[in-house]
Amino acid sequence: MVVTLPQPIIVGMLLGGRISLGNLTIEVSRASGFYPDIVMGGAALLTQLHRASIVEAEALVFARNRGLCLLVASGNPLAIQRLDDLARRAIRIVMASESEPGARHQYISALEALIGQEATKSILSRETMAFPGRLGIQHRDVLQAIAGRYADVGIIFHHLACYFAAAYRELCAMVTVPGAEKFSSTIAMAETIDPLRAPATKAFSEFFLGVARESIRATASQR
């Protein structure tokens, strides 16, 4: 079983012992068997879960993102070329909502460092906060906002913008942001304390980290 949700929801289901999906509530506990062997996430998530005695202290970093990037409508009709272009009064932006505080904070901090606090404040004043179909998950929301013309520019991690631009060329395109790599973050994995499926946990960790290493080598050889 794989659960992929915003990190605050992951924390909530593990600390609260349950997760609700509509009118269905699933018990999240060792007794039910619906309980993780491995948790992947940012440093804040794993630290919080370690303090709650859910995961081990040791976490293995397996990826680092390349910071933020811009997602625009296909053909880039507003000719967005750089962050400074977002200062135009008519430009509406969209990014991770308050339900994803880690990513949102990273984006805002990067914007403030790259273009200053006043420019960032102006941009955020034109943020599209709500629109039909919004879930509070940036992987889905940002593309939805651009495709539905609810926003003009999406601020999202480089790898997601790259994927969207390649997979949905009729809907969107990406604009890279020079210097954004300085404001990246890592993702790590940690085993739960005394995992229920220890042999499978070990086997998956070895396989996954091996794939991560090979991906890094492949990426490096292409540069």
pLDDT digits (tens, 9 = 90+) for 53-93: 999 999 999 888 999 999 999 999 999 999 999 999 899 99
For the cut 60, the answer to whether the pLDDT of residue 222 exceeds it is: no
Q: What are phi and psi of 24, to 5 degrees?
A: -105, 125
Q: Do 177 and 203 lie in a common domain?
A: no
Q: Do 153 and 210 lie in a common domain?
A: no
Cβ atoms of 41 and 101 closer than 8 Å:
no
- Sign of the dihedral defined by the CA atoms of residues 138, 142, 144, 145, in that order: positive
* Residue 56: half-sphere exposure toward Cβ, Cα within 13 Å: 13
Q: Do 130 and 196 lie in a common domain?
A: no
Average pLDDT, the chain: 92
- Rounded to two decimals, the pTM is 0.80
Could you give the C-alpha distances from 36 to 39, 194, 199, 207, in angstroms and in order?
7, 11, 14, 17
Whole-number pLDDT of residue 40: 94
Residue 11 lies in a domain: yes
What is the extent of the structural domain holding 156?
66-182
Per-residue pLDDT tens digits for 180-200 = 999 999 999 999 999 999 999
What percent of the chain shows pLDDT beyond 90?
A: 78
The CATH number covering residue 129 comes to 3.40.190.10
What stretch of H or E contains 218? Answer: helix 198-222
